[in-house]
């Protein structure tokens, strides 16, 4: 019966690394570490001692850790700061949403200021509408006064 039952096998087969390739990579890595270690050291230790230290380091690591050294860029390392390094006077850094909210409020305040001064399109339209309404009310008041006078004149003539 094929792998995966009656429906067949899905996915790829496993691929194994060549042991010779792994050995070659390990040797190259040890040489790099040895060269870096020799450069760091002042020359007091011999190459034999440094190679024994490297072997002990590789024995401490278990599994794939000894083969692959990867530093996760997404992992945030917790760095503790000293009290003397803290800057109390510095303003706190705002998030994007907070900055946008503050910007929105400032633009609204600017608009209201211009609106009250009558410099915006909406303010001009409102002032024109108010002027028209004032004229209509004045005309209506004049008509009422004329009608009252006519009514008083008509009563006084009778």
**Average pLDDT, whole number, for the chain?**
79
What's the pLDDT tens digit per position in 97-145?
999 999 999 999 999 999 888 888 988 999 999 999 999 999 999 999 9
88-117 in b/e form (b: 16+ CB < 10 A) is eeeeeeeeeeeeeeeeeeeeeeeeeeeeee
The whole model's pTM is what? 0.33
Band of pLDDT at residue 2, cut at 50, 70 and 90: low
Task: Tell me the mean pLDDT in the region 85-91.
Answer: 72
The pLDDT, as a whole number, for residue 116 is 87
Task: Tell me the mean pLDDT in the region 46-54.
Answer: 51
Band of pLDDT at residue 34, cut at 50, 70 and 90: confident
């Amino acid at each position: 019966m094929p792998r995966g039952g009656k429906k067949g096998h899905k996915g790829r087969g496993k691929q194994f690394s060549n042991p010779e390739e792994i050995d070659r990579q390990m040797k190259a890595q040890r040489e790099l570490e040895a060269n870096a270690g020799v450069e760091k050291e002042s020359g007091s230790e011999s190459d034999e001692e440094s190679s024994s230290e490297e072997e002990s380091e590789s024995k401490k690591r278990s599994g794939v850790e000894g083969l692959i050294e990867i530093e996760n860029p997404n992992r945030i390392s917790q760095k503790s700061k000293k009290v003397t390094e803290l800057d109390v006077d510095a303003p706190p850094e705002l998030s994007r949403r907070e900055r946008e909210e503050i910007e929105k409020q400032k633009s609204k305040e600017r608009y209201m200021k211009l609106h009250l001064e009558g410099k915006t399109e909406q303010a001009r339209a409102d002032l024109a509408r108010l002027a028209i309404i004032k004229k209509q009310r004045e005309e209506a008041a004049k008509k009422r006064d004329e009608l009252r006078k006519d009514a008083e004149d008509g009563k006084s003539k009778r």
